[in-house]
Amino acid sequence: MPVDVTLSEARILSFLLVLSRMSGLLIFLPIPGLRALPETVRPLVAIALTVPLLARVPALLPAEVSTGTMLVWCLSELCFGLLWGLAVHFLIEAFVLGAQFLALQAGFGYASIIDPSTQADAGLLQVLAQLIASLLFFATGMHRQVLYLLGESITRVPPGSYTPDVAAANQLVQLGTSMFEIAARLSMPLIALLLLIDLSLALLGRVQSQLQLLSMIFPAKLLLSLFVLGLMSTTYVRLYEIFGGKVLAFLESSLRMAVGAAARGSLAGG
C-alpha cells in the first residue's frame, strides 16, 4: 500500500512555529555537550524535539496567514522559548555564581581551564559547578518536567496565540534574585570557614611574624575546601531541588498568564 508523505501547508506552518518555540528554549537549556556539537548538527536536535509535539498543535488555516503575520508569530514563539530557557538556565547560573564567590577565597582562582560549553578560559571550580548542575538537571528529572510543560503549552497556548507579557518578565527578574540567594547559600558556609582561618592566621602572624604562613596554608586551604565541598554535596542537591521547584512554579505561572492573555485576545478578536 503506498504511503502518502505529502505535507499540507498548515502542517508546515505549525512546524515552523513550534520549531521557533523549541529553538528559543534550547538556546539556554542546560544539555551537556550541546554547544560542543557542530553547528550543522545542532538544528537537528531542535527538529527531533519538535516533531513529537506536532500532534498537539491545532491546524492553521493557510488562507488566514500572511507572511508578515507568520514572521510576527515566529518572533513571539521565539520570545516564549527564550523566556522559559532563561528561567531554566538560572539553575546552572546559581551554581556557577556560587562557585565564583568561593573560588577566590579558596584559592581556586589561580587556576583556569577550558570551559567545554564556551571554549573559553574559566575557573576550575566554575567549570566543575557547571558540569554538576547540568548533570543534576537530568538526575533530578527536571528535563522531563520542562518537556512536559512545553507539551502542555502547545495545547493550552497554541502557536501563534502567544503575546509577550511584561508581568512574566517581572517574575523572571524576581527569579533572578532567587538565583543570587541560592548562590549565597551554596558558598557562604565555606566562605565563613575560610575567613575564620584567615583571621586565625593573621593573629598568629602578629604573634610570630617569622613564620611564612601564607605559603604554608595555601595548599591546606585548597584541600580543606575540597573536603568541605564533598561533605556538603547532599546539601547542594537539596538546594538544587528547591530552586528547581521555584523554576517550575515560574513556568506554570507564565503558562497560566499566557493562557489568560490568549483568551482575552480571542475575545477581543471576536
Residues with Cβ within 8 Å of residue 183, at least 6 apart in sequence: 94, 95, 97, 98, 101
pLDDT band at 3; cut points 50, 70, 90: very low
Kindly report, residue by residue over 48-66, the tens digit of the pLDDT. Answer: 888 888 887 776 555 567 7
Say if CB 265 and CB 161 are below 8 A apart.
yes
What residue segments make up the domains of the chain, in order of their start? Answer: 83-269
Instruction: Give the pLDDT confidence of 214-258 residue by residue, as tens digits.
Output: 666 767 777 777 777 777 778 888 889 999 999 999 999 988 888
* 93 vs 3, higher pLDDT: 93
pLDDT of residue 209: 64
**Averaged pLDDT, 7-32:** 82
Q: Give the mean pLDDT of 76-81.
A: 90
- Number of residues in the chain: 270
CA–CA separation, 136 vs 262, rounded Å?
34
Other residues' Cβ atoms within 10 Å of the Cβ of residue 267: 8
Can you tell me the mean pLDDT for 174-195?
85
Mean pLDDT, the chain, integer: 78
- Quote the pLDDT of residue 198: 73
Q: Is the pLDDT of residue 33 over 80?
A: no
Would you state the pLDDT for residue 249?
92
User: What's the CA gap between 263 and 108, in Å, rounded?
Assistant: 52
Minimum mean pLDDT range among 22-26, 112-116, 154-158, 159-163: 112-116
Predicted local confidence at residue 132, as pLDDT: 85
- 9 pLDDT tier (thresholds 50, 70, 90): confident
User: Residue 1's pLDDT is what?
Assistant: 41
- At 189-205, the pLDDT tens digits run 788 877 877 777 777 76
Decide which of 122 and 174 is more confident.
Answer: 174
Q: Quick: pLDDT tens for 97-141.
A: 888 887 777 666 655 555 555 555 556 777 788 888 888 888 888
Please answer whether residues 257 and 167 qualify as being in contact, where contact means their C-beta atoms are separated by less than 8 angstroms.
yes
The whole-number pLDDT of residue 4 equals: 46
Q: How confident is the model at residue 31 (pLDDT cuts 50, 70, 90)?
A: confident
Q: Which of 36-45, 132-141, 167-176 has the lowest mean pLDDT?
A: 36-45
